[in-house]
Amino acid sequence: MMTGRFRKSSITLILAAIMLPGSAINVLADTTGEDNIVERIVNESDGNVIIEIDPDLLEQILTDPDLGVRKKDTKDPNAKQNGYRIQVFSDGRNQSSLEARAKARGNAIVARFPKYRGQVYTFSSAPNWYTRIGNFRTEEEARKALDELKRSFPNFSSEMRVVKSKISVR
């Protein structure tokens, strides 16, 4: 198994050899730098690149080197599904401090409820800023959490509500 670091040019040549086996020799032979490898891949593949990986190599990629076992979760870590979040901040007034206030609200919740660490989503949809908490699969689950948050933060409980959202699946 290979370990260590590759230079960027080494990775480019390896990827070129994997993605374009028929023309890999030509790509590897072209060391003049005249052709941009990315442009060449796009032009030769018409924008569609299919990567074929040998099953043995794929197994090595999916195996945790420290444990010698296949990683359990090979799903996309960024996968989203329909679900619910708790909106704890939404405001479009006083533009100069909105982002800071939105983030502060999320930080206050995480300080009291560490279970939401990594589940605070602050974003802007002009002119408003929003902070939403959690990844709840069901509305009932989100409502229970909402009740808990409202009891803990009565000063802004009237702003809190359950909203439908794309949630992170873990």
Question: What confidence score (pLDDT) does residue 142 get?
Answer: 96
pTM of the full predicted structure? 0.53
How many Cβ atoms sit within 10 Å of the Cβ of residue 1?
5
Instruction: Give me the sheet containing 80-91, strands edge to edge.
Output: 120-125, 128-136, 80-91, 161-168
Top-confidence residue, 1 or 18: 18
**pLDDT value of position 27:** 44
Short-list 41, 63, 82, CA closest to 167: 82
Q: What is the pLDDT of residues 70-102, one digit of tens each?
A: 555 445 656 788 999 999 998 888 777 888 989
